Chains A and B, each alone.
Chain A
Amino acid sequence: MWADAKTLLWDSIAYKDVLTQMFLRDLRVRYKHTVFGYLWSLLNPLFQLIVMSFVFSHLVRWEMKNYTLFLFSGLLLWTFFYAAVVAGAGSFVENEGFIRKIYLPKLLFPMSRVALRLFDFSLSFVALSLVGLLLGFTFPVTVFWLPVAIVMAGIFALGCAIIAGVATVYFRDFQYLLAVFLQMLQFATPILYPISVMPEKYQWWLKLNPLYSQVHIFQLLVHDGTFPSAAEWSAGFGVAFAALFAGIAVLLLTEDELVFRL
């Protein structure tokens, strides 16, 4: 297992050009034949944000500084996480043509897909922030720490994407189950509502959700304007690396068999 882990690591480095090329391929292919092209990466979250913010700010009135900003910070992260895990779930099955015919380190498949979603995420964050500034929103200075938080979210999503990818190879039903599961997860994460609206005795249940530590850091940086404490950072990075190591462990255990399961 240790030797395999070394191979996985070295091969992933040796094949980094393939990763770049796969990333570029997905980037080129995605918005082919569409009129708006990359603008969709901005329009999609923008529309989603407008609808949600309109509905929820009229439906319920929570005590907060700026609900739209709060929603913005959590929803963009959620959209990234969702897209990355769904793309990761199909990353082995849909690359059957590669896996059955040539050797490539298996880590490349989920990695290139998550990288693409991470690119989207960063792009839409910047673009929507500019829109926000034009509309007169003020962002706290803590937003400059976002790149660190985005790296953290990327590590977490990659771990989850690998596991989803392997699970889909073994149980094809998983990809459908995943949609249901993710919907439940979205409501179990304080994205649309602040955690403070929950009765105090249930709050710790929500905090058990591994996604909470991730979302919380984004909300602190973008909405609250407070710098996350050392404990909050370590929770966020701890969960992220735990997910990544779990993903790599799952891949090491299954990588030789994947080709026979496709």
Chain B
Amino acid sequence: MTPAFVDLQEVSVRFRRYWGASGGLKEAAMRLVTPPRWFRDKKPTREVSWGLKDINLHLKEGERLGIVGANGAGKSTLLKVISRVYRPKQGRLQVSGRVAPLIEIGAGFSPDLTGRENAFLNGAILGIKRHQILARMDSIIEFSGLGSKFDTPVKYYSTGMNLRLAFTLATEFTPDILILDELYAGGDEAFIKRADARLDQFIEQSKILILVSHDMRYLTRYCTRAVWIEEGRIRLDGSVPEVIAAYQESNA
């Protein structure tokens, strides 16, 4: 098996955001038949910006990266590039290994399906076969601690229950690359303990972990390397204490 790695070279992501009815047929048709000056005073309903600019990052097996930065700096955007939600406009992305992204809680869940049914759908998305899930079903139920709620539609779950199911599915079949965003928002203490133990185990197996958190204790505990992202660029890439110190100083 080829070793797992993540490689970004000069990666830039351009955001084009639309709101209002800018996507309407009417407006498109109107533009064709009306003089452009009529539109001059209109407020813009779209915005083009660089979500990420010239990112260079290489992660090899066993590396555990922590990402810090202010809200809107581009942390989640980076995670979404690595998990292929956003395609870079420029640059090159290469990922080797099975990726389990846990970027938003409940992403990839269908609210009308039960926890069990979602396990199959979510498992398929993560690249896990049906029979593998069936074989580990007991373990999934036990770890998630959902008990009888496992057969209730996910739309009736609390945030914490959603998180427990998502985390369990993402980590049950040890992925090569685990991506976690703002972990533990809403998990109870007992679950956090189990999750910590699982992450420790993960570290022993020298897989790649990418973690975004505002909690510096977690970064210190789990990461071997950190990057600080600011306005879509990497401001600093180094050891965890070094990056945390610089980041906290800038916020002081």
Contact = CB atoms under 8 A, between A and B. Distances in A.
Interface of A: 14-15, 17-18, 20-22, 25, 28-29, 32, 97-104, 169-174, 177, 256-257, 259-261
Interface string B122-135: 00110101100000
B107 interface: yes
A261 to B, nearest CB: 6
B25 A171 contact: yes
Interface residues of B, number: 31
A17 B124 contact: yes
A21 B16 contact: no
B188 interface: no
B107 A21 contact: no
B207 to A, nearest CB: 19
Contacts of A15: 124-125
Contact of A97 (B24, B107, B120): B107
A100 B77 CA distance: 11
Interface stretch (B35-43, B60-68, B110-118, B213-221): B110-118
B241 interface: no
A260 B17 contact: yes
5 contacts: A15-B125, A25-B121, A102-B83, A102-B125, A260-B18
A102 B112 contact: no
A44 B24 CA distance: 33
Contacts of A20: 124
A98 B107 contact: yes
Contacts of A100: 85
A213 B230 CA distance: 58
Contacts of B120: 21
Contacts of B113: 25, 28-29
A173 B24 CA distance: 6
B108 A173 contact: no
A103 B84 contact: yes
Contacts of A18: 121, 124-125
B121 A21 contact: yes
B145 to A, nearest CB: 24
Contacts of A177: 25
Contact of B101 (A28, A102, A256): A102
A29 B129 contact: no
Contact of B112 (A29, A98, A101, A260): A29
Among B17, B21, B101, B112, residue most surrounded by chain A Cβ atoms (within 10 Å): B112
Contact of A103 (B16, B21, B83, B112): B83
Nearest to A176: B25
B16 to A, nearest CB: 5
Nearest to A104: B125
Given A15-B124, A18-B124, A101-B104, 10 more contacts: A21-B124, A25-B113, A28-B117, A100-B85, A102-B83, A103-B84, A173-B25, A259-B86, A260-B15, A261-B16
Nearest to A32: B112
